[in-house]
Amino acid sequence: NAGVTQTPKFRILKIGQSMTLQCTQDMNHNYMYWYRQDPGMGLKLIYYSVGAGITDKGEVPNGYNVSRSTTEDFPLRLELAAPSQTSVYFCASSYSTSVDTQYFGPGTRLTVL
């Protein structure tokens, strides 16, 4: 199993550009999450999904959109990139909630200039 994979690993965007961060898991997990981590800070939940077709907002959803058309994929969309979105983005998945563990991807480092 590859686990949780994220692409790209690095990206530089100009203000106002848009992009999609890709996340794929091959563990057949129902639950998937997107976090962002600003320098020196903890992780903040952006969006999460409890299954295909079902998504919900986390702590910091503004400026982002998600979709979950399959169990495997959970892309994160930035429509109008802003410098405040410069961060490292982590995707995670798990097969249950309260007692299971979240498996994290390697992260995508995004810089908006």
Partner 1 sequence: DAKTTQPPSMDCAEGRAANLPCNHSTISGNEYVYWYRQIHSQGPQYIIHGLKNNETNEMASLIITEDRKSSTLILPHATLRDTAVYYCIVPFTSGTYKYIFGTGTRLKVLA
Kindly write down the DSSP assignment for every residue of 30-71, as one continuous string.
Answer: SEEEEEEE-TTS-EEEEEEEEETTEEEE-S--TTEEE--SSS
Give the residue, chosen from 13, 78, 90, 110, that forms a contact with partner 1 under the rule CB under 8 A.
90
106 binds partner 1 (CB under 8 A): yes
Compute how many other C-beta atoms are within 10 angstroms of the C-beta atom of residue 32.
27
12 binds partner 1 (CB under 8 A): no
Give the residue, chosen from 35, 68, 78, 110, that forms a contact with partner 1 under the rule CB under 8 A.
35
Between 58 and 75, CB nearer to partner 1: 58
50 binds partner 1 (CB under 8 A): yes
Q: How far is the CB of 42 from partner 1 (least distance, A)?
A: 4
| Cβ proximity of 74 and 23 under 8 Å | yes
DSSP, res 86: -
| CA dist., res. 84 & res. 81, Å (int) | 8
Q: Which residues bind partner 1 (CB under 8 A)?
A: 4, 31, 35, 40-45, 48, 50, 56, 58-59, 88, 90, 92, 97-99, 101-102, 104-107, 109
